[in-house]
Structure 1
Amino acid sequence: PSGWGGPSVTLNPQNLVRTVAVLGWVAAVCVSAAMDECEDAQGRPQRCMPEFVNAAFNVTVVATNTCGSPPEEYCVQTGATGVTKSCHICDARDQRNHHSAAYLTDYNNQQDATWWQSQTMLAGVQYPTSINLTLHLGKAFDITYVRLRFHTSRPESFAIYKRTYEGGPWVPYQYYSGSCEKTYQKVNRGFIRTGDDEQQALCTDEFSDISPLTGGNVAFSTLEGRPSSHNFDNSPVLQDWVTATDIKVTLNRLNTFGDELFGDPKVLKSYYYAISDFAVGGRCKCNGHASECVKSGGGRLLCDCKHNTAGDDCNVCKPFFNDRPWRRAAADSANECLPCNCNGKSSDCYFDPELYRATGHGGHCRNCADNTDGPNCERCLDNYYRDQSGNRCQPCSCSPIGSLSPQCDRGGVCACKPGVTGEKCDRCLPGYHSLTEAGCRQCSCSPSGSTQECDVATGQCRCKENVEGFSCDRCKLGFFNLDPHNPQGCTPCFCFQHSSVCDSAEGFSVHSITSTFTNGDEKWKGQQQDGSSVSIQWSPSGQEVSLSSDSFLPMYFVAPEKFLGNQILSYGQNLSLNFRVERRDNRLSAEDLILEGANMRVAVPLIAQGNAYPNENMQRYVFRLHDSTDYPWRPHVSHSDFQKLLQNLTAIKFRGTYSERSSGFLDNVSLVTARRAPGVPARWVEQCTCPQGYQGQHCQQCTLGFRRARPELGAFSSCEPCSCNGHSDACNPNTGACDCQHNTAGLSCERCKDGFYGDATQGTSTDCQPCPCPAGATCAIVPSTREVVCTNCPPGTTGAPSS
């Protein structure tokens, strides 16, 4: 077929002469150029083939029998009875008279013929003894024909075999016999129908006649009579059929005239096999991917493969060119091997048929670099992610303890177990602790007393300033009322500084002291910085009060009496007010709100505690009344001093003006406190547990038998036991004066009362005895003599008791 490049040969008697002539011409003439080049004019790959050659030319043939060893006589067959035969000597040692197998494939010269010759029938050459002529081509060829030119008459029976690959089994190509069924068990002149096995060998008696006695040809066309030969490119069966690495001719039975039966030596010497030419027409098999075959360094014949193919026959794809399965080139497609797409991450791949069926691309990359994976090195290895450059894959490094999976997302962030956080899931979330295989445990922290965080290793909660306990669930000593709204957690015990143990008092409810200015200024005053009074204006329409200034000197709103006095129950609570200015000015001061009391003075800026700058719109301002670094009252005072200030609050001043010719407007003032009444419980009111000598809700009183050590300090003074020298169980708690008994007197019952004598400090009920004197007199003891003498005697008496 023209697509395959081999001539089609028809071997019937009518065209035998023409066939032999054509095949002889093909074998003798080497085609000078290969079938096209492997690329077209535009550089696109196309099918190409090596030139058509006589693959047997000058190739050594191995013969199992050759005449001349030892030298022997042979006679030329004339075919005529009684005619003297011309006889000659075959001597393998004589260059002129040997007929070795080398003459089978040498240059065939009709004028000076050379031939290979076997021993004669006299030496035992005849059926069933066979002779094999084996031609080793050196590599696979696509065989078009096999032609034999006989120097004697053609054999009665012989066969042609081939090997498809080196070392493979011998496969029959064609049988020639005048006795097909008897010798080869084949039907004579059989044929192949469409659908039959097209790799079966046929047998014919067409070339088994004894004539001509010399020069007879036998030409076998590999594709003659095979139905699929017209579609050779699409017939793997025939492509395999024409492939051969070795050709073997087996000579089975000589043709005779029957006269050998008489045993005449001269007759027997005239029967032998002799072949002058053994030709094999075909192309070096390169499957359409090479235009020539070349000798390797070791002398082996190999295809010079193109189209990214490799192998002796261009029968595989080159390494890294496995994106589609290897195919033989066809007329309409070069079927070149395509490179694998490994995205520059590998130079090694293999053909994956499953991948090819699924995607149309079969190149499966191996050994992907830079931690990549996938058929095309298109993704990161498991447990890796692509960095921002997009060129490299970085390890996820997910914590094996804290992560749900060693695989992270595209950003390198791992999926964490409950309570775990961090890009690599290597630490506990705020509010969790103790990272384990199960994740992190939630902190068991009191929401009232903690920051809702705990130590990540131990679970110890982080407590507010005045709170303690593993879970921050109790107030420190000296504090009470665990409150979620208290930034410090608990309120310090006041107790007039006499006790550090207190709790929330029962029976107190939330109360607010307010000024809404609905009906007037509610006794609010105005004051300059130097303390001088200024007038305050009340607006009936706005229901607000205001101050106006013509200078830069600030003016203050001064609160009335209802906001002052003992406001200890407002400790830790809010003073709130609405305020606006007529003209915005940001020149605030450190003393915008001032508290005075107990000989102390503290102040904060207007914008402290998260408040906004004042402007033309009325805004709410809130100030928490307690000591804390978060609420910067200046100067800083201890919580006990702050409580002391509120217990005797003498002034609240709020700055009203901030610039020249400006006004400030005040409204809706509220001070949160508590009172003993039903309502929303005021848990910040304390009930103190008093030490010995103190009593009252706040330990503000001395108990019976105790008195103020320093009465001038009032309730802040410590209480000490009454000193009555054993003559009284009680004393005035404020003055300390004893209620003296046993005829004693004095602040501490340290003396006998008038009309009695003795030592009152002895501490007994008989320390003081009645004076032995007249009525109305007093007495005393003379220290030196211990004599009792009367004093303040009535007129007419003396000091002696008996006088």
Structure 2
Amino acid sequence: MKIVGGGAARTLLFGIIIICGVILFDCGDALAGSEIYAKTFPSQQHPSDPCYDEDRPRRCIPNFVNAAFGAAVEASSTCGSGGPTRYCDVIEQPGGSTGIGQCHICDDSTPRRRFPASYLTDVSNPNNVTCWRSEPLVTLQSFSAPPDNVTLTLSLGKKYELTYVSLQFCPKAAKPDSIAIYKSMDYGKTWQPFQFYSSQCRRVYGRPNRATITKANEQEARCTDSHRYTGGNGLAPVGRIAFSTLEGRPSASDFDNSPVLQDWVTATDVRVVFNRLHIPQQPSSQEQQQQQVLQLGGGNGDDHGLGLEELAKREREREERLKNQQKSSARGAGGLLDPLATALPSVHQVIAPQEMQSNDAVDDGESGGFAAAAVTVSTSTSSTLASNLGTSTLAHHYAVSDFAVGGRCKCNGHAARCIQGKDGEVACECRHNTAGRDCERCRPFHFDRPWARATARDANECKG
């Protein structure tokens, strides 16, 4: 009985141990599975979201991009949009002066002769430079002449915080002297000066050259002549201008806590206005007196008559010099201009339709004689130039190969990217319980904490 009873007890005990082992094994598996699950899905619901650090919200910003790439640009003037038009390259001459090079035809109806504004924001390829060109314009003969005011307007489609605005000028093209850059924060309804460039800031824009910015005027647009002296590819001292939006602004080092600068760098649109390609030379005192005689009629009738005679005499002398220079240029190598024959820094020509050669003739190198005919003297008046060159008009043009705007989609630190919605509008993919195209407000029912821009120290998440 003891043996039997003892065996039964041992058998029962062994069975209980096996059952407990199975139970413990299953419990262990369950525990292990829960640990794997916990590692796979941590307590916060955004495991790969840069706007969260585990379960803690943190500031996040979209990637830095060229906001202008592929964006629409509206140009007030485009070469060839009104029919075939002739324009000329600018070449460097001995002594640092510039003259006319080979001439070409622009024609918006012919693909290989088009220079549309869309080329400003396409893929920039140094081996295949594409350019926008304006229609050639009459060269300014005096500073009092109206500015060119050729404009390029870039629409970004959303608010961006801009770091720079850059313009790359085309090879063999004149570089502008006076340029104004404006920005809009309300999709083109209003415009604010952003930056000015000119060799004569005060005369052109009424602003001092390279003024110092203080905390009292951090949203003040500066004017500078630095673009005339910075290096770049091309024949002139400058091939590119790049405006840094925060350079010289005292609060730039504390940008997170400077609402003034945050507003300063914000833009939905950027407009570039080319005011003057070159600053006309100042007239001599004698020419100024003669101009006054013409405009005011001076003392008596005899004085007025003498002034007109003197002007007529000067015009005949200039015409004679012009003819001699043309003959001298024609005898030069390949019909190129004599360096002394061109006093203006850049000259381009628009030919009347009845005078235009075929496009093929120009492209095949038959523009040498045309270039030789386009000789200018800086003191000539527009009427004299027109009479000397028949129905043609001396002109210049603007040419830009790349219009870039570096910056980030504005999301106030509450989104890591911007996406296009069903309505076609680009908007921030907001986090931290924020809402709006720029994450500029709290989501409904999350107003326990007032909305604020995220900073490096505090994400300022909206609380519900």
TM-score range, shorter chain: 0.5 to 0.7
77, 84, 94: which one aligns with 1:71: 84
How many angstroms apart in 2 are the aligned matches of 1:173 and 1:276?
21
Instruction: Show the counterpart of 1:143.
Output: 162
Q: State the Cα distance separating 1:197 from its structure 2 match.
A: 1.1
Query: Which whole-Å deviations, capped at 9, do the CAs of 1:476-527 have from their partners, x for residues lacking one?
Result: xxxxxxxxxxxxxxxxxxxxxxxxxxxxxxxxxxxxxxxxxxxxxxxxxxxx
Contact 1:327/1:335 (<8 A) preserved? yes
Flag the structure with higher strand content: 1
Q: Say yes or no: does 1:213 pair with 2:338.
A: no
Contact 1:77/1:271 (<8 A) preserved? no
Structure 1 residues 169, 103: CA separation in 2 closer, same or farther (over 3 Å shift)?
same
Q: Say yes or no: does 1:38 pair with 2:54.
A: no
Query: Which whole-Å deviations, capped at 9, do the CAs of 1:705-729 have from their partners, x for residues lacking one?
Result: xxxxxxxxxxxxxxxxxxxxxxxxx
How many angstroms apart in 1 are the aligned matches of 2:154 and 2:219?
21
How many angstroms apart in 1 are the aligned matches of 2:168 and 2:393?
22
Instruction: Show the counterpart of 1:187.
Output: 208
Contact 2:85/2:106 (<8 A) preserved? yes
How many angstroms apart in 1 are the aligned matches of 2:196 and 2:99?
34
Query: Which whole-Å deviations, capped at 9, do the CAs of 1:608-648 have from their partners, x for residues lacking one?
Result: xxxxxxxxxxxxxxxxxxxxxxxxxxxxxxxxxxxxxxxxx
Contact 1:75/1:270 (<8 A) preserved? no
How many angstroms apart in 1 are the aligned matches of 2:57 and 2:66?
27
What code does the residue aligned with 1:279 have? A
Structure 1 residues 297, 86: CA separation in 2 closer, same or farther (over 3 Å shift)?
same
Q: State the Cα distance separating 1:299 from its structure 2 match.
A: 1.1
Query: Which whole-Å deviations, capped at 9, do the CAs of 1:573-604 have from their partners, x for residues lacking one?
Result: xxxxxxxxxxxxxxxxxxxxxxxxxxxxxxxx
How many angstroms apart in 1 are the aligned matches of 2:221 and 2:377?
31
Contact 2:166/2:405 (<8 A) preserved? yes
How many angstroms apart in 2 are the aligned matches of 1:82 and 1:63?
27
- Aligned runs of 1:432-451 on 2, under 5 Å? none
Q: Give the secondary-structure state (helix, strand or coil) at the position aligned to 2:219.
A: coil
Q: State the Cα distance separating 1:169 from its structure 2 match.
A: 1.6
Instruction: Show the counterpart of 1:197.
Output: 217
Instruction: Show the counterpart of 2:190.
Output: 169
Q: Say yes or no: does 1:48 pair with 2:60.
A: yes
Q: Give the secondary-structure state (helix, strand or coil) at the position aligned to 2:175.
A: coil
What code does the residue aligned with 2:397 have? Y
Contact 1:178/1:209 (<8 A) preserved? no
Instruction: Show the counterpart of 1:551.
Output: none
Q: State the Cα distance separating 1:271 from its structure 2 match.
A: 2.2
Instruction: Show the counterpart of 1:400.
Output: none
How many angstroms apart in 2 are the aligned matches of 1:210 and 1:307?
44
Higher radius of gyration, 1 or 2: 1
Q: State the Cα distance separating 1:78 from its structure 2 match.
A: 1.0
Structure 2-normalised TM-score? 0.61
What code does the residue aligned with 1:49 have? I
Q: Give the secondary-structure state (helix, strand or coil) at the position aligned to 1:102.
A: helix
Instruction: Show the counterpart of 2:438.
Output: 313
How many angstroms apart in 2 are the aligned matches of 1:82 and 1:135?
31
Structure 1 residues 209, 122: CA separation in 2 closer, same or farther (over 3 Å shift)?
farther
Instruction: Show the counterpart of 1:96.
Output: 112
What code does the residue aligned with 1:97 have? R
Query: Which whole-Å deviations, capped at 9, do the CAs of 1:695-745 have from their partners, x for residues lacking one?
Result: xxxxxxxxxxxxxxxxxxxxxxxxxxxxxxxxxxxxxxxxxxxxxxxxxxx
Q: Give the secondary-structure state (helix, strand or coil) at the position aligned to 1:129.
A: coil
RCO higher in structure (CA 8 A, sep ≥6):
2
Instruction: Show the counterpart of 2:287.
Output: none
Q: Say yes or no: does 1:299 pair with 2:424.
A: yes
How many angstroms apart in 2 are the aligned matches of 1:251 and 1:57?
21
Contact 1:143/1:282 (<8 A) preserved? yes
Structure 1 residues 242, 153: CA separation in 2 closer, same or farther (over 3 Å shift)?
same
What code does the residue aligned with 1:204 have? T
Instruction: Show the counterpart of 1:525.
Output: none
Q: State the Cα distance separating 1:44 from its structure 2 match.
A: 0.9
How many angstroms apart in 1 are the aligned matches of 2:225 and 2:123?
29
How many angstroms apart in 2 are the aligned matches of 1:177 and 1:232?
29
Q: Say yes or no: does 1:156 pair with 2:177.
A: yes
Q: Percent identity?
A: 48
Contact 2:61/2:416 (<8 A) preserved? yes
How many angstroms apart in 2 are the aligned matches of 1:294 and 1:240?
22
Instruction: Show the counterpart of 2:362.
Output: none
* TM superposition outliers: structure 1 runs of 4+ over 6 Å: 81-84, 123-126, 265-268
107, 127, 133: which one aligns with 2:152: 133
- Aligned runs of 1:501-512 on 2, under 5 Å? none
RMSD: 2.6
Instruction: Show the counterpart of 1:470.
Output: none
Contact 1:64/1:133 (<8 A) preserved? yes
Q: State the Cα distance separating 1:179 from its structure 2 match.
A: 1.2
How many angstroms apart in 1 are the aligned matches of 2:157 and 2:208?
34
Q: Give the secondary-structure state (helix, strand or coil) at the position aligned to 2:406.
A: strand
How many angstroms apart in 1 are the aligned matches of 2:393 and 2:345?
11
Instruction: Show the counterpart of 1:650.
Output: none
How many angstroms apart in 1 are the aligned matches of 2:459 and 2:202?
45
Instruction: Show the counterpart of 1:108.
Output: 124
Structure 1 residues 82, 138: CA separation in 2 closer, same or farther (over 3 Å shift)?
closer
Flag the structure with higher helix content: 2
Q: State the Cα distance separating 1:292 from its structure 2 match.
A: 0.5
Structure 1 residues 320, 158: CA separation in 2 closer, same or farther (over 3 Å shift)?
same
Q: State the Cα distance separating 1:43 from its structure 2 match.
A: 1.9
How many angstroms apart in 1 are the aligned matches of 2:62 and 2:463?
22
Query: Which whole-Å deviations, capped at 9, do the CAs of 1:234-265 have from their partners, x for residues lacking one?
Result: 00000000100000001100135275744558
How many angstroms apart in 1 are the aligned matches of 2:462 and 2:230?
53
What code does the residue aligned with 2:209 have? N
Contact 2:139/2:395 (<8 A) preserved? no
Query: Which whole-Å deviations, capped at 9, do the CAs of 1:201-258 have from their partners, x for residues lacking one?
Result: 0000111469953670100011000000000000000000010000000110013527
Q: State the Cα distance separating 1:166 from its structure 2 match.
A: 2.3
435, 440, 447: which one aligns with 1:322: 447
How many angstroms apart in 2 are the aligned matches of 1:163 and 1:260?
41
How many angstroms apart in 1 are the aligned matches of 2:167 and 2:49?
30
395, 398, 404: which one aligns with 1:273: 398
How many angstroms apart in 2 are the aligned matches of 1:168 and 1:327?
27
Q: Give the secondary-structure state (helix, strand or coil) at the position aligned to 1:77.
A: strand
